Structure 1
């Protein structure tokens, strides 16, 4: 099946460049010059992934992403930003972006990130045998088949990256995972991003799972090493 991508950017030259390059790689590409009609476009022709620019007139990329996730839509999104600081990138990850890429960039890098995000959505390798039956911990129940999380039988919306990270933790209980290992499991060994994004994603999961995210019980920090998932939420992991 051919991959379909929607590029949303007000820069006509960049839109044409990305469309021409990605089409040559066998990808179907459609474009939008702003995010105002994003939801209508998705309803009409659902892409496999959206490449979304941060800074656009009218509805900006962060607002469009927030609206998309608020509606329960979990379509993969890669954000583009020309800003040098990390603030908007971190906010984008917090809102549910799967990845981000700073401008200017080589189209080959975008293609690599698209492939990594889609690969992660399709299958997530783990350091231990994968859990397939629904997994319960605390007041939560994670269903791998439906990709859903419930708390006291009430559904909780997870973005694709949140589900992917939680699945890795659940598949590796009481196993300390370094930030580098988590990046590898999420994105593949070729990923060259920084480990700061992992901290942001862990923080987002803690806001969902923990009564007090500043004193986490389920996803605990192992000083100087990484993170560990404690299913019963009652004990301290080694090294804490």
Structure 2
């Protein structure tokens, strides 16, 4: 992985392509349509952050896992804000990398299946969301959410397994003028957790300290 960026296509175990610079990577992706992009931020011709921005600007939803020696929270937040799905700091084990890839592929499959589902339901463990009726149930019991709580839940659900930064959630829910108001987000997440995690042993929303929140994919 040290030579720049690596792209995995087909199955994560049998076929992959390694590319040495950002420009080649950007040309490669629309042609071969890989399943996952493993991206090093330290590239010889451009910063990896610019690659993330260009991929997302092209409306390409390929899962992007950043692999970098840069371990500052600011780098992680910036990469996730630009559209990366995950951030893995070197050194790491192969088992951890494969687990992160599996999570990203599950998220892609969730989005694909949701688009095909005519009844527009979301299932995660004991949690069910009907997008048409805007109803939320846990263990078949309906949970009453405020409009703000529901919006936060939907954004987390639509990005299951992806870490969403505080800034991203605040912008999507409260608007650009509120991107620094993390206290409102913390309160909403706290009340949302109390409602959807009541009468269940499951933890749906995971906190990434200093970064943001993540909807955990649970076994159905």
TM-score range, shorter chain: 0.5 to 0.7
After the TM superposition, list the runs of 4 or more consecutive aligned residues in structure 1 that deviate by more than 4 angstroms: 22-25, 134-138
How many angstroms does 1:24 deviate by? 10
**1:26 paired to 2:13:** yes
Out of 205, 208, 212, the position equivalent to 2:172 is: 208
Considering fraction of residues, name the structure with more helix: 2
> Is the 2:52–2:84 contact (alpha carbons within 8 Å) kept by the matching residues of 1?
yes
Q: Secondary structure at the match of 2:130?
A: coil
Alignment-derived partner of residue 39 in structure 1? 26
| Partner Cα separation in structure 2 for residue 42 and residue 23 of structure 1 | 13
Q: Secondary structure at the match of 1:31?
A: strand
Q: How does 1:4-153 map to 2 (within 5 A)?
A: 11=3, 26-123=13-110, 125=124, 127-133=126-132
- Using the size of structure 2 for normalisation, the TM-score is 0.60
Alignment-derived partner of residue 228 in structure 1? 192
Closer, same or farther in 2 for the Cα pair 1:221/1:85, shift >3 Å? Answer: closer
| Partner Cα separation in structure 2 for residue 163 and residue 121 of structure 1 | 16
Which blocks of at least 5 consecutive residues in structure 1 are unaligned? 1-8, 143-161, 169-184, 188-196, 230-240
How many angstroms does 1:74 deviate by? 1.4
Q: CA RMSD in A?
A: 4.0
Which blocks of at least 5 consecutive residues in structure 2 are unaligned? 111-122, 136-145, 194-220
Moved more, 73-82 or 85-94: 85-94
Number of residue pairs matched by the alignment: 167
